C-alpha cells in the first residue's frame, strides 16, 4: 500500500510538470529553458545530500563508480534531451503515449529478463488495458503518424527504455533512492547546464516574466526535478521495477484532468474514459503479485 501511495504521488508529479511545461511554453519559454530549470535547480537542491554522503563514505562511489555512472546516464541528461528533443518532431499527443508506453512495457520486459520477475497473464492483461487507455487519453490519430513524427516517436521510445533501465539498475544494486536522486541531479548539473548556457546564454530565462520564471522554478526544478526521481526510486524499492513501471502511464490521464483549471482544456469523453481504463488496468497489473502471494 505504501508503494502504491508513492506511485500515485509520482504520477501526480508527472502530470503536474507536463501541464505546467505546456503553460510555460505558452508564456514564451522553450523546452531547453524548462530542462535547465529542472536539472539546475534539482542539482543545487540535492548537492548537500551528495556532499554529506561522500564525506561519510566515499568508497561507495569509488568502488561502484560504474553503477553510479550508469544511473546518471539512464535517468540524467540523455533521458532529458531525448524527451524534450522529441517534441520538435512528434506532436504533443504522441508524447502522452509513446514514452509512457515504453516505460511500462520495457519495465516489465527488463524486469523479467534481468531480475526474473514473472510475466503473468494478469499483469499482461492489465498492461494491455493501460495501453488502450493511453491511446484514448492522447487522441492519437492516423493523420499524425508521419515520417517526421516517427523520428520523435523513436526518441520517446528510447527515452522510456532508458527510464525503465534506471529502475532495473536501482533495484538490482539496491541503491538508496535519495542518494540516486542526488547523483543523477548533480551529473545533469555538470553536463546539461553548462551546455545550455554555452549555446543559448540563458536568453530565454532572462527574457521570461518573473511570475512565469518562479512558477517554473518551483514546478520543474523543486517538485519535478527532485520529486520525480525520488518518488520513482522509492516506488521501485517498494514495489519492484515491473509493477512500478505501470504508474507513469497514469500521468497523461491526470494531466488531462489538471489541464482543465490550468489551461482551460475541458476533458473530452474519450479522455475521461481513457483515464478510467488506465486506472483499472493499473490496479490489475500492480496488485497481481499481491493476489498470487495470498493464494499461494
Q: In the prediction, which pLDDT does 228 show? A: 82
Residue 225 CB: number of other CB atoms within 10 A? 30
Residue 108 CB: number of other CB atoms within 10 A? 24
Q: In the prediction, which pLDDT does 265 show? A: 61
CA-based nearest residue to 154, from 79, 88, 73, 86: 86
Q: Model pTM greater than 0.95? A: no
Q: In the prediction, which pLDDT does 291 show? A: 43
Q: Tell me if 177 sits within 8 A of 233, measured CB to CB.
A: yes
User: What is the 3-state secondary structure of 263-288?
Assistant: HCCCCCHHHHHHHHHHHHHHHHHHCH
Q: In the prediction, which pLDDT does 296 show? A: 39
Q: Quote the CA–CA distance of 226 and 188 in Å, as a whole number.
A: 12
Residue 139 CB: number of other CB atoms within 10 A? 17
Q: In the prediction, which pLDDT does 205 show? A: 92
Q: Report the C-alpha dihedral over residues 121, 125, 128, 129, rounded to 10 degrees.
A: -170
Q: Report the C-alpha dihedral over residues 276, 278, 280, 285, rounded to 10 degrees.
A: -170
Residue 213, CB half-sphere, CA atoms under 13 Å: how many? 9
Q: Quote the CA–CA distance of 101 and 96 in Å, as a whole number.
A: 9
Per-residue pLDDT of the chain (296 residues; tens, 9 = 90+): 888 888 888 888 877 877 788 788 888 888 888 889 988 899 999 999 999 989 888 888 888 889 999 999 998 888 878 887 787 787 766 776 778 778 877 887 888 888 877 777 777 787 777 777 767 765 655 555 677 778 888 888 898 899 889 888 988 888 888 888 889 989 989 998 999 999 999 999 999 999 999 999 999 888 988 888 888 888 888 887 777 777 776 776 676 677 667 666 666 666 667 767 776 776 676 665 544 444 43
Amino acid at each position: 500500500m505504501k508503494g502504491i501511495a508513492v506511485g500515485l504521488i509520482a504520477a501526480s508529479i508527472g502530470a503536474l510538470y507536463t501541464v505546467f511545461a505546456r503553460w510555460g511554453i505558452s508564456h514564451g519559454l522553450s523546452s531547453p529553458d524548462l530542462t535547465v530549470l529542472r536539472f539546475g535547480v534539482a542539482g543545487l537542491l540535492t548537492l548537500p545530500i551528495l556532499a554529506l554522503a561522500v564525506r561519510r563514505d566515499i568508497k561507495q562511489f569509488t568502488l561502484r563508480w560504474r553503477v553510479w555512472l550508469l544511473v546518471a546516464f539512464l535517468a540524467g541528461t540523455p533521458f532529458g534531451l531525448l524527451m524534450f528533443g522529441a517534441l520538435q518532431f512528434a506532436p504533443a499527443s504522441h508524447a502522452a503515449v509513446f514514452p509512457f508506453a515504453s516505460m511500462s512495457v520495457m519495465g516489465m520486459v527488463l524486469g523479467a529478463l534481468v531480475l526474473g520477475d514473472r510475466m503473468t497473464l494478469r499483469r499482461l492483461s492489465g498492461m494491455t488495458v493501460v495501453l488502450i487507455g493511453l491511446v484514448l487519453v492522447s487522441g492519437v490519430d492516423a493523420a499524425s503518424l508521419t515520417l517526421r513524427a516517427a523520428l520523435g516517436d523513436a526518441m520517446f521510445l528510447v527515452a522510456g527504455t532508458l527510464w525503465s533501465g534506471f529502475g532495473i539498475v536501482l533495484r538490482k544494486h539496491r541503491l538508496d533512492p535519495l542518494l540516486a536522486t542526488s547523483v543523477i541531479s548533480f551529473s545533469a548539473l555538470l553536463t546539461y547546464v553548462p551546455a545550455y548556457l554555452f549555446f543559448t546564454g540563458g536568453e530565454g530565462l532572462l527574457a521570461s516574466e518573473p511570475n512565469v520564471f518562479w512558477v517554473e522554478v518551483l514546478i520543474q526544478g523543486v517538485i519535478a526535478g527532485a520529486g520525480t526521481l525520488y518518488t520513482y526510486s522509492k516506488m521501485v524499492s517498494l514495489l519492484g521495477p515491473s509493477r512500478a513501471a505501470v504508474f507513469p502511464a497514469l500521468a497523461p490521464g491526470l494531466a488531462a484532468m489538471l489541464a482543465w483549471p490550468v489551461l482551460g482544456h475541458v476533458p473530452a469523453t474519450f479522455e475521461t474514459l481513457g483515464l478510467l481504463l488506465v486506472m483499472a488496468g493499473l490496479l490489475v497489473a500492480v496488485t497481481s503479485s499481491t493476489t498470487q502471494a495470498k493464494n499461494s
